[in-house]
Amino acid sequence: MSEKIKLEVISRRKALSLFGLAATLSLAAPAMVLTASDAEAQQAAPPAGGQTAAPAGPQTGTERRQARRTRRVERRVGRRQARQKGREKRRELRGTAPKT
């Protein structure tokens, strides 16, 4: 009963860590409340007519990256074919050109 209550001086470091913890909890609490709702995700309605239409564009990053790679490969193949046709044409012209 005769215990003396000792007041402890809080250092700046402890005060700042407590302030940071309080700020973190104040930001995390609303996020936890929002994620704990009972609402379900809405499903996209199928298009009219029963046909599944292709999406307007790729939705995920992986799909966008794959589309870029596909376009790049197609351009590369087109350039390669154009070079090959040009070489064949030049070879034909050399074979039919008069020799002097």
- Cα gap 78→88, rounded to integer Å: 15
54-58, 61-65, 68-72, 88-92, range with the lowest pLDDT:
54-58
Q: Answer whether residue 99 is part of any domain.
A: yes
4 SS3 class = coil
Q: Is 81 within a domain?
A: yes
100 found inside a domain:
yes
Nearest Cα neighbor of 68 from 58, 79, 82, 54 is: 58
Position 88 scores a pLDDT of 93
Range of 99's domain?
60-100
For the chain, how many structural domains are there in total?
Answer: 1
Q: What is the pLDDT of residue 89?
A: 94
Mean pLDDT of the chain: 78
CB 84 within 8 A of CB 91: no
Phi, psi of 10 (to 5 degrees): -90, 130
14 located within any domain: no
pTM of the predicted model over 0.75: no
Whether residue 92 is contained in a domain is answered as yes
83, part of any domain? yes
Residue 5 in domain: no
What is the distance between the alpha carbons of residues 5 and 8, in angstroms, rounded to a whole number?
A: 9
Q: Give the pLDDT of residue 9.
A: 79
Span 65-88, mean pLDDT?
96
